[in-house]
Amino acid sequence: MVRETFLQTVESGKGHRIEYRMLLKNGKVRFIESQGNAIKDHHGKTCKVVVVSRDITQHKESMAKLSRALADLKESHEELKKAQMQLVQSEKPEAVSTFAAGVAHEVKNPLQTLILGIDYLSNHLGGDPTTRMVLHDMAGAVHRADGNIRGLLEFSASKRPHVKDENINEIIEQSLHSVENELKNAPIELIKEVAPGLPLLKFDFRTMKHVFINLFMYSIRGMASGGTLRVRTYLREIKENFSADGRLSNYIRRGDTLVVAEVEDTAPAVKDEPASDTTRGKDSALGLTVLKKIVELYGGVVDVTSGSGNKYTLIFKVNRG
């Protein structure tokens, strides 16, 4: 292979790059990378070939470690997906909280090992553009997973939710305060239209605050170059038969009084799960499917529509039967 590559360089006048193994006298194998370049005479014919070679054995070994770390990361990701689906199937807030704590503690330690490994590889393999790209993607994935774990731990901090009458406007206000820096850094224009005097709803304050923070972060990440975030609450009375597709038609009936909260952005349309981005240093804690289930646990429903942007509509019945 080396001879053929050398002859091709001589005949074509174009340099080639190859990798090959070198067997040492002591039986060890070293991996070598060579880059050849042709030097031509005044007639345009190749008269010399300059070859620069380097030992890439350590690079190969590091890439093997990187591949193993990526395999571990994929396995952790699959575990998180399974855990999330089990979380969705839980029927009570207490069960959700307890299960979340168990999953988070089980996955947290191996995830930290992956984070340290990727940081090590980044410091030792930073020269190659392809390696940098792969490491960047891996770091993004592992930090998103770490954000999920931190979110689950936060969500499960209080094992027994404290459910009482709460003002949804106050929950939204505190949630917006938690993402204030992210809104300013984008920058994102906030339009807040909250209706005063809304009926109180039975929530665990911290859990619903967690839901709204996630929804706000979905929108913020989708508007990295800036945009508009509109937050609106209002009271709606259904005086006629309600016509809609999907779960709303099964949830809303004539005579219902509803408290509605809308989170609307100008980000590109989402499909199943809003995209994550670790560049802002704050990851969404739970997926949209889980957030929908949490809202359902408190007697509400979430409707997601996409067009020129995304709208997350949370609907709660006042006259819960």
**Which has the higher per-residue pLDDT, 233 or 161?**
233
> Do 311 and 167 sit in the same domain of this protein?
yes
Structure tokens at 175: 């949630």
What's the DSSP call for residue 240? Answer: S
Cα 193 from Cα 216, distance rounded (Å): 15
pLDDT at position 191? 95
- Going across the sheet that includes 46-55, the strands are 17-23, 29-40, 46-55
* Cα-based distances in Å from 230 to 131, 167, 199, 213, 297: 40, 19, 21, 14, 25
Q: What is the pLDDT of residues 12-59, one digit of tens each?
A: 888 888 999 999 999 999 999 999 998 988 888 889 999 999 999 988
Strand duo 29-40 + 46-55: pairing: antiparallel
Among candidate residues 155, 179, 208, the one where a domain is terminated: 155
The H or E element containing residue 7 is helix 2-12
Among candidate residues 10, 36, 55, the one where a domain is terminated: 55
Q: What is the pLDDT of residues 45-57, one digit of tens each?
A: 889 999 999 999 9
pLDDT at position 280? 34
CATH number at residue 251: 3.30.565.10
> Do 218 and 280 sit in the same domain of this protein?
yes
> Do 177 and 119 sit in the same domain of this protein?
no
Q: What is the pLDDT of residues 194-235, one digit of tens each?
A: 999 999 999 888 889 989 998 998 899 889 888 999 999 999
* Full DSSP string of 35-103: EEEEEE-TTS-EEEEEEEEEE-HHHHHHHHHHHHHHHHHHHHHHHHHHHHHHHHH--SHHHHHHHHHHH
> Do 144 and 8 sit in the same domain of this protein?
no
State yes or no: pLDDT of 108 exceeds 90: no
| Cα Dmax for the chain | 94
pLDDT at position 28? 92
> Do 187 and 297 sit in the same domain of this protein?
yes
Among candidate residues 155, 188, 219, the one where a domain is terminated: 155
pLDDT at position 278? 36
Domain count for the chain, please give it. Answer: 3
> Do 21 and 100 sit in the same domain of this protein?
no
> Do 175 and 264 sit in the same domain of this protein?
yes
> Do 132 and 36 sit in the same domain of this protein?
no
Pick from 154, 51, 146, 156: nearest CA to 100: 156
> Do 191 and 69 sit in the same domain of this protein?
no
* Cα-based distances in Å from 30 to 34, 56, 214: 13, 8, 50
295: containing domain = 163-317
CATH number at residue 49: 3.30.450.20
Q: Is the link from the previous residue into 274 a cis peptide, with omega within 30 of 0?
A: no
* Cα-based distances in Å from 163 to 94, 124, 295: 11, 51, 13
**Which has the higher per-residue pLDDT, 284 or 295?**
295
Pick from 290, 293, 296: nearest CA to 316: 296
> Do 175 and 277 sit in the same domain of this protein?
yes
Q: What is the pLDDT of residues 166-199, one digit of tens each?
A: 999 999 999 998 888 888 887 899 999 999 999 9
What's the DSSP call for residue 199? Answer: P
Check the CA dihedral 63-65-68-72 and report its sign: negative
> Do 212 and 88 sit in the same domain of this protein?
no
> Do 119 and 199 sit in the same domain of this protein?
no
Strand duo 227-237 + 188-194: pairing: parallel
Cα 188 from Cα 220, distance rounded (Å): 8
pLDDT mean over 62-83: 79
